Amino acid sequence: MTQITVRVDGQSYSDDVEPRTLLVHYLREQLGKVGTVVGCDTSNCGACTVHLDGEAVKSCTVLAVQADGGTVTTIEGIADGGTLHPMQKAFHDMHGLQCGFCTPGMIMASIDLVGDNPDPSEDEVREGIEGNLCRCTGYQNIVRAVQQAAAEMRGASTGAPSTTEAVAQS
Amino acid sequence: MIPAAFDYARPSTVEEALQVIAEGGDDVKVLAGGQSLIPVMRLRLAAPELVVDLTRIPELRGVREDGDALVVGAMTTHSDVLTDPLLARYGQLLVQATETVADRQVRHRGTFGGALAHADPAGDLPAVALALDAEFVLAGPSGRRTVPATEFFVDYLTTALEEGELLVEIRLPKLGEDWGVRYEKFNRVAQAWSIVAVAAAVRREGGRIAEARIGLTNMGSTPLRATATEQALLGADVSLEAVTAAAALAADGTSPSSDLNAQADYRQHLARVLTRRALAAATGL
């Protein structure tokens, strides 16, 4: 066992883990953060995407010991109290989910994408979330959701009114 | 699945890493970005007794200039490559190929050195390193040695790295403004491996081609140079006719494998087509 200290969704944890424990299993089974799901277990589908030190990673392909001293944000840590993150809200508004299994990873990957590219074109969204698979094939509304959230997040960062812009974008 | 149990070491210097590896016995695996190793361990295709994690060795990460060369630390991530100002200026071929590697999550973790040391023939970066005549700096218990790209890639998933050695940095030539480059990749779906890909760099002098370097991805058990095409281009006019004629030789001497994605003859066809496209783009045709 190896002791790790990691900050997850704003709270610090110190735990003993086996070196072979994957980050996703640590999050789900030791911390109870079951919002992050295991989809494919082969590093393809992106359902387990979380942010490690500010970057989107597939948490099934990172060892928990590698997060030692780091900061993890999961889907459970992005809402502001009762207020959804703009990306969560947009997925809700635009029906960016069908069965919902890919949604946590889609949202975390999309927030990462918009962080790098605040105004992605449709093609850029599709390229940007290529590491996330929606087995329902509901991509059309996922792309719309990401673009709406990007508009909202741009508005929030400039202080400009965002609602009209979001509607115009959609 | 969950990997088999292993011991874990996280050295903070190259020296310490070499020592841990030397003392680790016969069954040691070096963990770079982990984006190939961890999946392989999850499938229990690898079950090392000791994993040596290089992610906390700062001296292995980053890009610097050294005269006419760029020196890329082995633990420089694909994301680092995509945002590095020196590579943006002198290393566009590597940047273009890196953009096509997997997806952004994988690019955040995966490393240039890890991809080269893994030496998967379908991986995108070995062909770039070969086309650019990169030099591989390997550190071992008895010091450092430099291996040219032509000698680094030995066979399928096999490199010139000896037991106890680490790839620490990769030296690439700076390509100036007289060079045009293009990485042309063919695959079926997003984030898939290359079925075939072509890395081309062409230097023009006046209206003629003064130098051409072409690396082929997944046309054999190691990356290959399209030597016949390179030679045909020397002194050739920059014209679609010349490029097309030279590209027709791109598969000469190759014996690619057949698999679920492509038969060998189709791979050879792809190599010719993609070489033509890559050369046309690299020469601005």
Residues of A whose CB is below 8 A from B1: 41
**Cα B5 from Cα A1, distance rounded (Å):** 10
| Entry field: residues in chain B | 285
Q: What beta strand segments (E) does A39-118 contain?
A: 49-52, 55-58, 71-73
- Whether B158 shows a pLDDT value over 60: the answer reads yes
**Cα B193 from Cα B202, distance rounded (Å):** 25
CATH topology of domain B63-173: 3.30.465
Mean pLDDT of B138-159: 97
Predicted local distance difference test score (pLDDT) of residue A168: 44
Instruction: Answer whether B153's CB lies under 8 Å from B123's CB.
Output: no
Mean pLDDT of A130-150: 97
- Report the gap between the CA of B9 and the closest CA in chain A (Å): 9
A29 touching B, CB under 8 A? Answer: no
pTM of this structure: 0.94
Q: How far apart are the first and last CA of chain B?
A: 49
- Whether B183 shows a pLDDT value over 70: the answer reads yes
Classified as helix, coil or strand, A57 is strand
Tens of pLDDT along B56-78? 999 999 999 999 999 999 999 99
Residues of A whose CB is below 8 A from B2: 20-22, 25
Query: Which residues fall within 8 angstroms of residue A89, CB to CB, at 6 or more apart?
Result: A149, A152
- Whether A160 shows a pLDDT value over 60: the answer reads no
Q: Is the dihedral of CA B256, B179, B273, B104 positive or negative?
A: positive
Tens of pLDDT along A31-47? 999 999 999 988 999 99
**Cα A50 from Cα A89, distance rounded (Å):** 18
- Out of A19, A21, A57, closest to residue B105 by CB: A57
**Cα B107 from Cα A46, distance rounded (Å):** 13
- Out of A19, A60, A131, closest to residue B7 by CB: A19
Whether domain B179-282 has CATH 3.30.390.50: yes
Domain boundaries, chain B: 7-53, 63-173, 179-282
Question: What CATH code would you report for B7-53?
Answer: 3.30.43.10
Tens of pLDDT along B6-33? 999 999 999 999 999 999 988 999 999 9
Predicted local distance difference test score (pLDDT) of residue B138: 98
Hey, are the CB atoms on A65 and B8 less than 8 Å from each other? yes
**Which ipTM did the prediction report?**
0.94
- Whether A157 shows a pLDDT value over 80: the answer reads no
Mean pLDDT of B191-206: 94
Predicted local distance difference test score (pLDDT) of residue A166: 43
**Cα A102 from Cα A95, distance rounded (Å):** 13
- Whether A125 shows a pLDDT value over 90: the answer reads yes
Tokens of B113: 């050195």
Hey, are the CB atoms on B4 and A112 less than 8 Å from each other? no
- Whether A146 shows a pLDDT value over 50: the answer reads yes
Mean pLDDT of A92-109: 97
Mean pLDDT for chain B overall: 97
Query: Which of B80, B104, B185 is most worth mutating to test chain A (most A CB atoms within 10 A of its CB)?
Result: B104
- Whether A161 shows a pLDDT value over 60: the answer reads no
Predicted local distance difference test score (pLDDT) of residue A75: 98
- Two domains, one topology: B63-173 and B179-282: no
Residues of B whose CB is below 8 A from A41: 1, 42
- Whether A162 shows a pLDDT value over 50: the answer reads no
Mean pLDDT of B253-275: 97
Side-by-side strand order, sheet with B208-217 = B179-186, B196-205, B208-217, B224-225
